[in-house]
Amino acid sequence: MIHLYPFRPHHRLHAPAEFERVYRQGRRAGDNLFAVNALPNERGCARLGMSVSTRTVGNAVNRNRVRRIIREVFRAHLTELPAMDFVVTSRPGAKTAMRDAIAGSLQALIERATRPQTPAQSSTPRSA
């Protein structure tokens, strides 16, 4: 299958240090399916990292299904996304969620994580 917007290596986070940087410095949005961390980058394009664990989603079949849907949503919105690094972390609700619910959740969370902060939000400390 040929995708209109392919998911190339330069659209991925590779190194553990890249993930750690986004976790520590990025903005976070979450729901019962996923947590999305987002941090502006200097690369000029959006990049995606995923953390889909056995503990939250289950066996390899379920993990790969969730990863495939995450990549599909990211790829479909790639041209609309700002130059940011995104890390999507699965939560237990993703295990049984249908494709449309996963896509809707990710779209809403990415929008929340990329929304400009108001001065009140930027002064509020983030809990660990």
Number of domains in the chain: 1
pLDDT of residue 5: 63
Cα–Cα distance for residue pair 26/84, rounded to 1 Å: 10
Looking at the domain assignment, is residue 126 inside a domain? no
pTM of the model: 0.84
**DSSP class of residue 77?**
T
CB 40, CB 84: distance < 8 Å:
yes
CA 52 distance to own-chain centroid: 11
pLDDT of residue 128: 46
Looking at the domain assignment, is residue 69 inside a domain? yes
- Strand ranges in 1-127 using DSSP code E only, listed in sequence order: 27-30, 34-40, 47-51, 84-90
Looking at the domain assignment, is residue 61 inside a domain? yes
Looking at the domain assignment, is residue 1 inside a domain? no
pLDDT of residue 10: 83
What is the chain's pLDDT, residue by residue, as a tens digit (128 residues)? 455 666 778 889 999 999 999 999 999 999 999 999 999 999 889 999 999 999 999 999 999 999 999 999 999 888 889 999 999 999 999 999 999 999 999 999 999 998 877 655 555 555 54
If we measure between CA atoms, which residue out of 67, 71, 37 comes closest to residue 52?
A: 67
Cα–Cα distance for residue pair 25/35, rounded to 1 Å: 15
Looking at the domain assignment, is residue 123 inside a domain? no
Here the CATH number for the domain that contains residue 60 is 3.30.230.10
Break the chain down into helix, strand, coil percent, rounded to 5.
45, 20, 35
Looking at the domain assignment, is residue 101 inside a domain? yes
Looking at the domain assignment, is residue 121 inside a domain? no
Where in the sequence is the domain holding 64, given as residue range(s)? Answer: 10-115
Looking at the domain assignment, is residue 5 inside a domain? no
